[in-house]
Amino acid sequence: MQAVMQGALGTRRSTALYLAAWLLLGSMLAGLMHTAADAPWGASLLFAMPLTLLYGCASGFSSYYLCRAYPLASRPLFAVLGVFASSAVCASALWTVAGNGWSELLRGAAPGMPASSVPFMTRPFAATMFGLGVILYGLTAVAHYLALEFERARLFERRELEMKLAAQDAELRMLRTQIDPHFLFNSLNSISALTSIDPAAARGMTLQLSDFFRRSLGMDAQRMVPLTEELALARAFLAIEQVRFGARLRFEEAVAPEAESCLLPPMLLQPLVENAVKHGIGNRVGGGMVRIAAERTGSLLRIRVENDADEEGAQVRTSGCGIGLANVRQRLAATYAHEASVHWAHLGETFRVELALPFETVPVMET
């Protein structure tokens, strides 16, 4: 019974609310009998409550399955009204007959009781009960139609959200696939340049490159990674580049401890560090410094990537050449929408990129 009730009326909470509403209607029917038939309150409640609950369950199941069988969107309105009108009349007539039988049963069960203390179905009360049954059946059907429309709207919203998430994931995968070939192309150029100058360094860079891709491929299956993993990948990349640049490439980081556990899209910093080396350090005869700083500011994580750069290198990066900055901006927009931002500027002999994104961490599981 409970499983069927849940199937027709939804969750246990909605079932309890539904039955509570019918109990309230039962008390109103008892009050009507107390007034119209001049029956005591106790006898009126004994008569009305079982009948009302019975009619509530019967009309609830009947109208629910009729609402399923006759959806408003696919059936003519007059046909639906005709079906429910005939069903309401039949159900109300049966309810009235059941009420008359229940009254006679109560009178037969208490032969010694005064006639005034036993509920009696008069004709006016029976007519009133019949009309009330028709109205209640119609209201039950309307309630079921509203519940079905709400369920349909919620299902539509859920599917729309799933489609948006699928499109977002596809966009993120497309943007991430742009990073690996771009980085590999630059790295192979570096190895090619070292082959004729320093074969041993070229072999070392090849091994480090292999290790770098092994680590980066492990991040491909993750939607979000801690900042510590991003920093480790950035250090691995800089170690590869230092094989080519030597002492010309220096690295410095200043990361607040509370920022290390923040989650962000994988390989978000790597294209920024790669651009810092390619367009900044690579264009300076004396090399320069790459600096990464991160801190938490309220509900935001702020990351700053800086590098020493001359005017020509800054112009190359801000003119749109390469995919690093554009890729980072698109990935932030796809992941966080308007909640994240990226800005860059050339300040004297320093090129700076600043990221701001929501501070999110992995929730701690309680043991």
**pLDDT tens-digit profile, the chain (367 residues):** 333 344 444 567 777 787 788 888 888 888 877 776 667 777 788 888 888 888 888 888 888 888 888 888 777 888 888 899 999 999 999 988 988 888 888 777 665 555 555 566 778 888 888 998 899 899 888 888 888 888 888 888 888 888 877 776 666 566 556 555 666 776 787 788 778 888 887 888 888 888 777 776 666 555 788 999 899 888 988 888 887 788 899 999 999 999 999 999 888 898 899 889 888 888 888 889 999 999 999 999 999 999 998 765 554 555 544 567 887 888 888 888 889 999 999 888 899 999 999 999 865 444 3
Parent domain of 17: 2-159
Q: How many CA atoms lie within 13 A of 283 on its CB side?
A: 19
State which amino acid sits at residue 210: S
Domain boundary pick from 95, 130, 159: 159
**134 lies in the same domain as 27:** yes
Domain boundary pick from 159, 188, 209: 159
**135 lies in the same domain as 224:** no
Q: How many domains does the chain have?
A: 2
**What's the predicted TM-score (pTM) here?**
0.54
End-to-end CA distance of the chain, in Å? Answer: 38
Judge whether 97 lies within some domain.
yes
Judge whether 164 lies within some domain.
no
d(CA 72, CA 86): 17
Judge whether 191 lies within some domain.
no
**The tokens 């790669």 sit on which residue?**
274
**218 lies in the same domain as 354:** yes
Domain boundary pick from 139, 159, 179: 159
Beta bridge partners of 353: 305, 344
**353 lies in the same domain as 211:** yes
**What CA–CA distances, in Å, run from 21 to 14, 15, 27?**
10, 10, 10
**337 lies in the same domain as 233:** yes
Judge whether 171 lies within some domain.
no
**252 lies in the same domain as 125:** no
**149 lies in the same domain as 54:** yes
Q: Identify the CATH number of the domain in which residue 329 sits.
A: 3.30.565.10
CA 299 and chain centroid, separation = 20
- H/E element, 220: none
**126 lies in the same domain as 238:** no
Judge whether 231 lies within some domain.
yes
Judge whether 98 lies within some domain.
yes
d(CA 14, CA 100): 31
State which amino acid sits at residue 283: N
Residue 229 is encoded by which pair of tokens?
A: 């993993």
